Structure 1
């Protein structure tokens, strides 16, 4: 996947609606840029209620996507 990097994107998010890439093809990771069109995949929509630091999954394997759960550390990854 082009988006994949080792470890999550650590971001201080501001309140508002965020769309995180779930296809791995965005040129603006971890945010969706519409590159998923035609793939059958859709971005993860999240409402951030207050400023906070988040760890956004970069490998698209998290069971708690879009949040990082450490799946990038699993054997074979």
Structure 2
């Protein structure tokens, strides 16, 4: 199962100064987080993101976004 089979965004809560690594290859077994699967599927390195404030990231779960890996609402179209 691909991380894009969900069809709706993953909502990722991060705290100020917290670092997360978001999968961009689509093969993670722990979506939306990177699990190193890109080493066997060289389709994209993870996005390393450090929060500047407490926030919730909306990570694409449909594979149709034009703003990868973040959701742009394409799942609603």
Q: What TM-score bracket applies, with the shorter chain setting the length?
A: 0.7 to 0.9
Q: Which residue of 2 aligns with 1:12?
A: 13
Q: Given the two structures, how large is their TM-score scaled by the length of structure 2?
A: 0.78
Structure with the larger helix share? 2
Cα displacement string for residues 35-77 of structure 1 (whole angstroms, at most 9, x for unaligned residues)? 1103222111222111112211123332222210012334xxx
Number of matched pairs: 74
- Structure 2 stretches lacking a partner, 5+ long: none
Q: Given the two structures, how large is their TM-score scaled by the length of structure 1?
A: 0.78
